[in-house]
Structure 1
Amino acid sequence: MKITISTPHLTVVDDFLGEAEFASLAASLQFLSYRPMHSKEWVKAYGLSSAAVLQSEIVTRGRVDSTPPGMGRVGNLVERIAQPEEALRDGYPQGITGQGATITGRTVLSGVGAGLNWHNDAETLLGAYVFYGHPRWGSSWGGELLVLAETETGTESEADGRNGIGRSDGRPREVNGDLGPDFMLDARAEQYRNDIGHGTFVSARPNRLVLLTSHVHHRVAPVTPSAGDQPRTAVVGFFVSDADAS
């Protein structure tokens, strides 16, 4: 495994699992039970597109350990993410570890047209991760994770000062609570993203792990028709402080 990107709020690790272990996990994801993303609730960050988005049951590790039937390999992956090898631990964004946290994990399948709107995760979360479990992914198939450029820690950017949503620790201020998917109805959140206007894209490379703190704006580009019937297959989850989970 190797760290490809490392910033205070974003870490990308390639070849996270060994070749045989990854092949076994990728095969097992094909046999899980899935249901439509919006079948029980409106997951706002995914919008209400007609594009296919399916999700599995959820695994948890930490204060509560839970493994639905057939999801043992996903559970093993979540444990590996929660307790990284010593050589990798220092590369994780600050505060994202399994110590004092509950880690969740579920598989999300995204079909052609499916993506994720601009948002940042609730400040009650320590962070989030995505692990790409498809055996192959074409460079023209879309599904890239887009991450807004980070403001300098300890300073307020010009955009922050104009819009009143910067904070001295480099994190966005709350606008009507945590900044979630606002459908461009929150002018200050939209202006904040437009004023920065650049960032990093991370392709959905197989066997790639991406870790994000809750303080960074991000979205997922829609899967393109070039992907055909190959879904973007990702194990996604959150690091939840046990103090907040209680």
Structure 2
Amino acid sequence: MKITIQTPHLTVIDDFLSDIEFASLATSLQFLSYRSMHSKGWVKAYGLPSAAVLQSELATRGIVDSTPPGMSLVGNLVERIAQPDEALQSHYPQGITGKRATVTGRIVLSGVGAGLNWHNDAESLLGAYVFYGHPRWGSSWGGELLVLADGEAGDQGRPESPGRQPRQVIGDVGPDFMLDVSAEQYRNSIGHGTFVSARPNRLVLLTSRVHHRVTPVTPSAGDQPRAAVVGFFVSDANPS
């Protein structure tokens, strides 16, 4: 395990699993059942429904422990993230800790053209993670995670009014279609950040305050999908 990047809102950990553990997990992803990300409605953050995005069932660790059939290795990964040892705990971004959260996890397979538009996650979440489970990934295949420079960590994109509940920013749940002027102005005012490639056996941790997106998978990837275990840290005080 190697800490590659660490900021208050982003941590990248390489070689998170042992070689044997990773090989077993990567192999297991090929034998699971998947459905279209858009099968129950248009998940706007992932772009148009024509993009090739598939997802597995959901595993959880915390108040509710659930492991769908065939997903024992994914469940083990989620459990390790949910209950980190002290060496890992100190590297979690601010506000993300397995001691305070229920952690979810599902596999998301992204084919050519699939990406994720600029957004920050819902305020009810402590943060999110992505673990890259494909056995290889070319540098020209796309799928990079782009993270806006910390700045105010998204505070300007999520204004609050005294005595009122925080305003739900459209960008929290999908692209804002240029309608959320404050979020768009905030992103353009910073205009730079960090990119994280989809390197196999890499774990990326994000707080909910940081704006991020995923670049589309390019035709160079062919029939190799970007295979990621994607999950969220949900406060045990307010599970949803």
Superposed CA deviations along residues 34-66 of structure 1, whole A, max 9, x for unmatched, are 000000122121122412000000001000001
Aligned to 2:200: 206
Aligned to 2:68: 68
**Which structure 2 residues correspond to residues 138-149 of structure 1 after superposition, within 5 A?**
138-149=138-149
Q: Distance in 2 between matches of 1:78 and 1:43?
A: 23
* Structure 2 residue 185 is the aligned partner of structure 1 residue 191: yes
Q: Is the CA contact 2:158–2:183 (under 8 Å) kept in the aligned structure 1?
A: no
Aligned to 2:116: 116
Aligned to 2:46: 46
Aligned to 1:177: 168
Superposed CA deviations along residues 6-48 of structure 1, whole A, max 9, x for unmatched, are 0000000000000000000000011010000000122121122
Find 1:230's aligned residue among 224, 229, 232.
224
Q: Is the CA contact 2:130–2:228 (under 8 Å) kept in the aligned structure 1?
A: yes
Q: What secondary structure does 2:31 align onto?
A: coil
Please say which of residues 98-107 and 194-203 is displaced more in the overlay: 98-107
* Structure 2 residue 11 is the aligned partner of structure 1 residue 17: no
Provide the alpha-carbon RMSD of the alignment: 1.7
Q: Distance in 2 between matches of 1:67 and 1:41?
A: 24
Equivalent position amino acid for 1:132 in 2: Y
Aligned to 1:81: 81
Q: Distance in 2 between matches of 1:11 and 1:110?
A: 22
* Structure 2 residue 23 is the aligned partner of structure 1 residue 32: no
Superposed CA deviations along residues 74-120 of structure 1, whole A, max 9, x for unmatched, are 00000111122322210111221211311100000000000000000
Aligned to 2:136: 136
Q: Distance in 2 between matches of 1:121 and 1:115?
A: 16
Aligned to 1:157: none
Q: Is the CA contact 2:47–2:114 (under 8 Å) kept in the aligned structure 1?
A: no
Q: Is the CA contact 2:158–2:167 (under 8 Å) kept in the aligned structure 1?
A: no
Equivalent position amino acid for 1:21 in 2: E
Q: Is the CA contact 1:49–1:114 (under 8 Å) kept in the aligned structure 2?
A: no
| Ranges in structure 1 where 5+ consecutive residues have no aligned partner | 154-159
| Ranges in structure 2 where 5+ consecutive residues have no aligned partner | 161-165
Q: What secondary structure does 1:244 align onto?
A: coil
Q: What secondary structure does 2:237 align onto?
A: helix
Q: What secondary structure does 2:108 align onto?
A: strand
TM-score, normalising length: structure 2: 0.92
Q: Distance in 2 between matches of 1:100 and 1:81?
A: 12
Equivalent position amino acid for 1:117 in 2: N
Q: Is the CA contact 1:53–1:109 (under 8 Å) kept in the aligned structure 2?
A: yes
Equivalent position amino acid for 2:215 in 1: A
TM-score, normalising length: structure 1: 0.90
Residues paired across the two proteins, number? 232
